[in-house]
Chain A
Amino acid sequence: MNEDTLLSARGLTLHFGAVPALVDVDAELWPGEVLAVVGESGSGKTSLLNVLSGRWQPQSGVVWYRDPEGKLADVHAMPQPTLRALHRSDWGFVHQNPRENLRMGVTAGGNVGERLMAQGARHYGRIREEAIAWLGQVEIDADRVDDLPRTFSGGMLQRLQIARTLVTHPRLVFMDEPTGGLDVSVQARLLDLIRSLVARLGIAAVLVTHDLTVARLLAHRIMVMQRGRVVEAGLTDQVLDDPRHAYTQLLVSSVLQA
């Protein structure tokens, strides 16, 4: 493992019965780098995200994470409380369905402030101030801070989830189809927002998407998965402009040119 690698996976394997979800997958992520994992449904990309983030246990293989002090930790050997603490602070997870992450009975401001309180923040005025600042970053008006998420549109919910995730300044964010299921115009706005926030805050991200346009806009590098295997990997523009594997060529040629 390279000296400054943030996350490093070796030989990840996971089967559901006879169905391979991951077959001998290696992955590497550097600080500030965005890695897209692309492939069709069932290719294993979401399995990879769940194993990398410690949510699922692989049948074999290991995932190393380097903490801010430079110490390496085996993600799947961590005690559960340590892993949960990591997910509350250094890491973030953006789900395709924001309702999985948000608390629908708590105000927008409360949803953002909660992550800060979980980290030990106690000064109510400051938490509220920070929550409003983050709503601003994701382009939600400050006067919506006391509204419940159920009054928000799908795109606003996704932006609220992003504010809730980024408020603790994570070093690493896992994203599962963050623009899936949204209108195209809402998608464009969200993509631009994620792109500028990730670049400005220097966040590393593993981004699972079936949408090659999303990968091209957001990711430095890309991994193409098919039936649990990584069939091609490289710089995003290399893989998308000069695809070598038959499956990547099929994916790239299937994109409608707008």
Chain B
Amino acid sequence: MSDAIRPMLRTEALDKSFVLHLRNGLCIPVLRHVDLTVNEGECVALTGPSGAGKSTLLRSLYGNYRADGGRIWVRHDGAMVDIAAASPRTVVQVRAATLGYVSQFLRVVPRVPALEIVAQAARGLSPEAARARAEALLLQLNIPRRMHALPPATFSGGEQQRVNLARGFIGGHPVLLLDEPTASLDAENCAVVVGMILEAKRQKVAVIGIFHDAAMREAVADRIYYVTPLQDAA
């Protein structure tokens, strides 16, 4: 039984639209009836043309965008929790323990050194162990030691993205959401990220990602989920 495939995240008839009150209540439907299941140790890549709603779907899965209809089940603490209906406190708990998210851009916290930003995201480690792990991850992502004590505000786009990746991976969350994690990385660093995703999959992490790069997608994804643009469908 222990080898059975366990779904870690499952959406049922997920709907999401945006109502723009500043534009006379214009309603833009983006997601309609999305049914997506991701199992442990599996990587699903979201594809579709630009503007189709890939990022909207990923943000909805994290509870950052609020679903208008349907359910988003996440396996948290041994039970399936519906992120779409959960209280804010529950969403905070699910994010802390279960759902990791790497955004496209690092939201810069003023004055905090890169190493601290990464170490603070660790889970279940002593402060010393968290710092050691953060250092190892930053080095693995080719952020040299001399930069660890600096706040990343002055780093290049690619360096900030790698700090962001280290922060996303250090928690070892069972479900990991990746929004274009390698958009501004060179080939060498992309290869490092591929290695990290494959290692996470071996640790049974369920990964859902948007990868702009086809080779990257080939290397990590077990399945493709095509997000249909609703404007075309209509």
Q: Which residues of A contact B (CB under 8 A)?
A: 30, 188-189, 191-192, 195, 217, 220-221, 234-235, 237-238, 241-242, 244-246, 249-250, 253
What is the bound-complex CA distance between A110 and B18, given in angstroms? 54
B66 touches A234 (CB 8 A): yes
B91 touches A235 (CB 8 A): yes
A-B contact pairs, 27 of them (CB 8 A): A188-B110, A188-B111, A189-B111, A191-B110, A192-B110, A192-B112, A217-B109, A220-B88, A221-B88, A234-B66, A234-B88, A235-B88, A235-B92, A238-B63, A238-B64, A238-B65, A238-B88, A241-B65, A242-B18, A242-B64, A242-B66, A244-B19, A244-B66, A246-B21, A249-B20, A249-B21, A249-B22
Is B59 located at the chain interface by the 8 A CB criterion? yes
Which of B59, B65, B88 is most buried by chain A, counting CB atoms within 10 A of its CB?
A: B88
Cβ contact within 8 Å between A242 and B65: yes
* B-chain residues with CB within 8 Å of residue A217 when the two chains form the complex: 109
Interface residues of B (CB under 8 A from A): 18-22, 59, 63-66, 88-89, 91-92, 109-112
Q: How far is the CB of B58 from chain A (nearest CB, A)?
A: 12
A26 CB, min distance to chain B CBs, angstroms: 14
Enumerate chain B residues within 8 angstroms of A192, measured Cβ to Cβ: 109-112
- Majority SS of interface residues in chain A? helix
Q: What is the bound-complex CA distance between A62 and B110, given in angstroms? A: 39
Complex: A241 Cα to B65 Cα, angstroms: 7
Nearest CB of chain B from residue A41's CB, rounded to whole Å: 21
Give the distance in Å from the alpha carbon of A189 to the alpha carbon of B110 in the complex: 7
Q: Which of A195, A241, A242, A246 counts the most B-chain CB atoms under 10 A from its CB?
A: A242
How far apart are the CA atoms of A191 and B112 in the complex, in Å?
11
